[in-house]
Amino acid sequence: MTDADDTVKCLSAKEIKALVKPEFAANPDIFYPVKTLGNLGFTRACCPKCGENFWRHSDKKVTCGDSNCEG
């Protein structure tokens, strides 16, 4: 259900937008420790529903995690 492991699988678009500015989309390396996230198993993806970029911890994760995009 909601254990600690589950909460780190994905940063939602809202979380991303709260942390960074629009330039992030063009310069992710500046705003995020991309290599560190990559080493942790995160990959950057674009939500097919809302078009927002997000980080995911599993390739099975397709959408950004927003309730409007899930299911």
Question: Rule CB under 5 A: which residues touch Zn ion?
Answer: 47, 49-50, 63-64, 66, 69
Q: In sequence order, what are the beta bridge partners of 54? A: 45
Contact between 63 and 47 (Cβ < 8 Å): yes
| Closer of 28 and 49 to Zn ion (Cβ) | 49
Residue owning tokens 């198993």: 41
Q: Is 54 helix (H, G, I), strand (E, B) or coil?
A: strand
At its nearest, how many Å lie between Zn ion and the CB of residue 30? Answer: 23
Nearer to Zn ion, 14 or 30 (CB): 14
Report the residue number, 32 or 65, with the smaller CB distance to Zn ion.
65
Minimum distance from residue 39 beta carbon to Zn ion (Å): 25
Residue 38, both tokens: 């990559």
| Shortest Cβ 24–Zn ion spacing (Å) | 16
- CA dist., res. 33 & res. 66, Å (int): 23
